[in-house]
Amino acid sequence: MIGPFVTMAVGMGPGEPIDVPGGVVISIGDRCVIGRGVSLVGRRRIVIEDDVTFAPDIYVTDHNHAYNDLRIPIGRQWLDEDPVRIGARSWLGTGVVVLPGADIGRHVTVAAGSVVRGTIPDYSVVAGAPARVVRRYVSGEGWVPPLRHEVVTPAWWTVDDLADAPGDDGAPAPPSSSPGDDGATAPPSSSPGDDGATAPPSSAARRAP
């Protein structure tokens, strides 16, 4: 579902040649919810995997103006690009900004107003500017630090695609270190997708001209 006043833009202007694999710049997976006033601005690759929920007023981009050339105004310098991936089953709160090169893992909660760059691990909660890990799910321990209270899903609320907790079915479990042990999340050393991390386009896609 895509809410009102959502912007999806590709390129600097009409007719600009953009060379991307398959011709797809922005792809949105199945059962995603894109809230009111979200902006997705791409040139290289923005992948939103299945079951991702966006609150209102989120900005996601895979490029920024360079500023290294002191002879040219920043707004007229060419663009620095780095693909973005938002992992399946994640939730982004109101006012989140996702910067070029962000690689957000599976089942991640991003607190309202956060600015995300670099790699965010699976099954984590991040907050702040820049966003830092404030809670992780650890196999055998649960959420670390513990949740203040756990919400129980009522029986009448139908969820067709329940997933086991990480590690319960042999899936790789997140590292057992406590959140914050390694400080801020570092920018990735390679672009998301270099190792096949990004998923192929799904139910909705924006194609380059």
Retrieve residue 32's tokens: 């995603």
- Catalytic annotation present for 65: yes
Of the candidates 63, 65, 107, 149, the residue annotated as catalytic is 65
Spatial neighbors of 192 by CB under 8 A, at least 6 apart, are 47, 83, 84, 85, 101, 102, 103, 198
DSSP states along 33-62 = EE-TT-EEEESS-EEE-TT-EE-SS-EEES
Count of other CB atoms within 10 angstroms of residue 2: 14
- Helices and strands, number each (H, E), in the chain: 0, 20
What residues are annotated to the active site?
A: 65
